[in-house]
Amino acid sequence: MITLPDIEVCTEIYSSASSLVYRGIRQSDNTPIILKVLKADYPTTAALIRSKQEYAITRSLDIEGVIKVYSQQDYQRSLVMTLEDFGGESLEKFRQDLPESYCPMPLAEFLHLAIQLAEIIGSIHASQVIHRDINPSNIVLNPATGRVKIIDFGIATRFSRTNPSFQNPNVLEGTLAYISPEQTGRMNRILDYRTDFYSLGVTYYELLTGQLPFVTDDMLELVHCHIAGQAITPHELNSEIPPIVSEIILKLMAKNAEDRYQSAAGIEADLGTCLLQLETTNKIEAFPLGMQDISDRFQIPQKLYGREAEIETLLAAFERVAGETKEQNTYPKSQIELILVAGYSGIGKSALVQEIYKPITQKRGYFISGKFDQFGRNIPYSAIVTAFQSLMRQILAESETALQQWRDQILEAVGAIGQVIIDVIPEVELIIGAQPPVPKVGAIEAQNRFNLVFQKFIRVFSSPEHPLVIFLDDLQWVDSATLKLIELMMTDSETQSLLLIGAYRDHEIDAVHPLLLLLNELRSRSIAVNQIALAPLALQDTCQLIAETLHRDAASIAPLAELIQRKTAGNPFFVEQFLKMLYTENLIEWAGRVSTGGGRHGGTTPTKPWFS
């Protein structure tokens, strides 16, 4: 228990890995309160910053459906927040303690609650905040008053489109059973406010069916289910759920954010229609969804346009090194493979490579990446080091049992000269511990020794059980030591299930560039080297991108598409920036949109003549 002046702490009501929550009373005015304190005796700087951010965001939300925070103060070496206590308990606690009423919930009660939640989330989004952790534990209900509030803004963010990184499921932010595909960092998609709609859909699913859509104890399998798995339709699990309510939930849980509801008002409207039908006719008939789902945000779709063949080439290469083949052996298996992606800056090389996230997750593989720097060509192995540092962080986040297995395998591979690897990748020491010093040798001998032990080191992480994909960007600036290491990796007969992907600007290298010389050498030795040359978008693809952004048919925006194609030369990055410029300069006017199935046309209209 904690001790604070003017506060009587009554009981601990919740404990997580990072915080403790207590019920108490402020004695000066006899007000019931909730106290939230960081759990660690010595919280990290990151934990303290996060707690202060949670306080600031919660304090800024003057919304009836959001828990109110009174104050935050220092407590010993930590921080404690004081919040309102309106007599509620979390839905998760009700589900555990009163399963007959909340697991599953009766349809009418669910609809009343679901409408309230949609309205609250809409208000949160209108305040430019994304919660990022909607689930029954963070929804508090007082059954006596019917009041419901959303709590715990610990990982909430202000509105921005962020790109989560590929990382171990153990360290993902959010509650894994409820997070959206894009929040896993393995979808090559930007994270925005619609991540909350997916989590809300999973919450609705659980409240109505009594179970989660994806049930597994394997975290990586759960991530893959969110990305590619199809949940059983709710009304198949509970026959009392009308099919149209199932459709609403599954629309919320669509894998791509563009296919979900685009506004909380749209969710609220469709749920309201269901409730009205239930109360007036005692049944719920099907009706078109999304009729009032009007988005007030200008957003460019995140999918890739005009890259279908290139994506297929990339995925086929991964299937070969992962031990899978297409039907009739169209693609023969290979142990290791190199694939190069060439094109101008902004053409979409990195975005294309990230399409490999899904199959890597399915095969329980690892994806690591590094980037060469124009002014760091004299730093050997810079991108390789960055890539393997991220791999070490992924491994350090695994269970102690798995970590011990990795420790044993690495020590067996590097033998008595593990310090050679630690000198280049210091994070390795966190896994295998301190290693004895190695004898000093000349420069050439030292490089040969490193190359030898690195070959053995990399074999540990690339296997049919967990294929390894290494992505090295900006190879036009690669150093000679890394090129030699790439050659050794690609010619090592004992390495398996390794896919090395490189990206470079082909207009910045010539025929005598060391990279091209290496590629010619590898091909002469029958090493699998594939090349993907990314061309600018065709006018047809640019037209499709613009039409789907502005929610107009292709014919009506053809003049604009031709203009943008001329101005940008079909470079996807420039196309996106040009569209944003038109919008921010009020050269096009956003009139809202209706999601698929809606009746309103909406879209964007020009406010000034097209310019040339």
CATH number, domain with residue 61: 3.30.200.20
Residues 267/261, Cβ–Cβ less than 8 Å: yes
Q: Given 28, 49, 84, which residue is the final one in a domain?
A: 84
Q: Given 533, 553, 584, which residue is the final one in a domain?
A: 533
Question: What CATH number does residue 137 fall under?
Answer: 1.10.510.10
pLDDT tens, residue by residue, 336-357: 899 999 999 999 999 999 888 8
pLDDT of residue 359: 87
Q: Are strands 129-130 and 89-90 parallel, antiparallel or unpaired?
A: unpaired
| CA nearest neighbour of 195 among 176, 182, 177, 213 | 182
**394 is written with which tokens?**
């992924």
Cα torsion angle, 43, 47, 53, 55, sign:
negative
Strand (E) or helix (H) holding 240: none
| Cα distances (angstroms) measured from residue 506 to each of 288, 470, 476 | 50, 20, 8
Same domain as 277, residue 154? yes
End-to-end CA distance of the chain: 70
Q: Cα(340)–Cα(533) distance, rounded to whole angstroms?
A: 8
Radius of gyration of the chain (CA): 27
**8 is written with which tokens?**
């009587």
Same domain as 550, residue 518? no
Asked if residue 302 is part of any domain, the answer here is: no
Asked if residue 611 is part of any domain, the answer here is: no
Same domain as 168, residue 28? no
Domain limits for position 522: 308-533
Same domain as 289, residue 318? no
Question: What CATH number does residue 426 fall under?
Answer: 3.40.50.300
**92 is written with which tokens?**
């998760």
Q: Cα(53)–Cα(72) distance, rounded to whole angstroms?
A: 11
Residues of the chain scoring pLDDT < 50: 326-332, 596-602, 605-612
pLDDT of residue 146: 92
Same domain as 166, residue 283? yes
Q: Cα(366)–Cα(499) distance, rounded to whole angstroms?
A: 10
Which parts of 289-447 are beta strand (E)? 294-295, 336-342, 366-371
Q: Given 508, 533, 558, which residue is the final one in a domain?
A: 533
Q: Cα(264)–Cα(130) distance, rounded to whole angstroms?
A: 12
Residue 565, φ and ψ in degrees, nearest 5: -60, -40
Helix (H, G, I), strand (E, B) or coil at 559: helix
- Reading phi first (left if > 0) and then psi (alpha if -120 to 50, else beta), residue 152 is in left
Same domain as 424, residue 411? yes
Residue located via tokens 């280049």: 424
Residue 554, φ and ψ in degrees, nearest 5: -60, -35
Residue 106, φ and ψ in degrees, nearest 5: -60, 150
pLDDT of residue 425: 93
Same domain as 470, residue 332? yes
Same domain as 226, residue 350? no
Q: Cα(433)–Cα(112) distance, rounded to whole angstroms?
A: 56
Asked if residue 397 is part of any domain, the answer here is: yes
Residues 277/242, Cβ–Cβ less than 8 Å: no
Same domain as 271, residue 211? yes
Asked if residue 2 is part of any domain, the answer here is: no
**424 is written with which tokens?**
């280049």
Which parts of 438-497 are beta strand (E)? 468-473
pLDDT tens, residue by residue, 83-100: 999 999 999 999 999 998
Residue located via tokens 């046309």: 601
Asked if residue 300 is part of any domain, the answer here is: no
The domain total for the chain is 4
Alpha helical stretches, state H, 511-557: 514-524, 539-550
Residues 270/290, Cβ–Cβ less than 8 Å: yes
DSSP string, 49-82: HHHHHHHHHHHH---TTB--EEEEEEETTEEEEE
DSSP state of 612: -
| Cα distances (angstroms) measured from residue 429 to each of 168, 262, 399, 433, 518 | 19, 47, 17, 5, 32
pLDDT of residue 279: 95
Cross-strand pairs, 367: 469
Q: Cα(427)–Cα(385) distance, rounded to whole angstroms?
A: 10
Asked if residue 185 is part of any domain, the answer here is: yes
| Cα distances (angstroms) measured from residue 603 to each of 321, 556, 588, 606 | 45, 11, 10, 10
Which parts of 135-187 are beta strand (E)? 139-142, 147-150, 157-158
Same domain as 405, residue 315? yes
Q: Cα(17)–Cα(307) distance, rounded to whole angstroms?
A: 43
Q: Cα(58)–Cα(156) distance, rounded to whole angstroms?
A: 9
Centroid of chain to Cα 484 = 34
Residues 69/120, Cβ–Cβ less than 8 Å: no
Same domain as 360, residue 254? no
Which parts of 454-594 are beta strand (E)? 468-473, 498-504, 529-533, 588-590, 593-594
- Walk across the sheet containing 7-15 and list its strands: 7-15, 19-26, 31-38, 78-84, 69-75
Same domain as 557, residue 501? no
Q: Which residues contact 523 (CB under 8 A, 6 or more apart)?
A: 529
DSSP state of 415: G
Rounded to the nearest 5 percent, the helix, strand and coil shares of the chain are 45, 15, 40
pLDDT of residue 377: 76
Asked if residue 512 is part of any domain, the answer here is: yes
Asked if residue 60 is part of any domain, the answer here is: yes
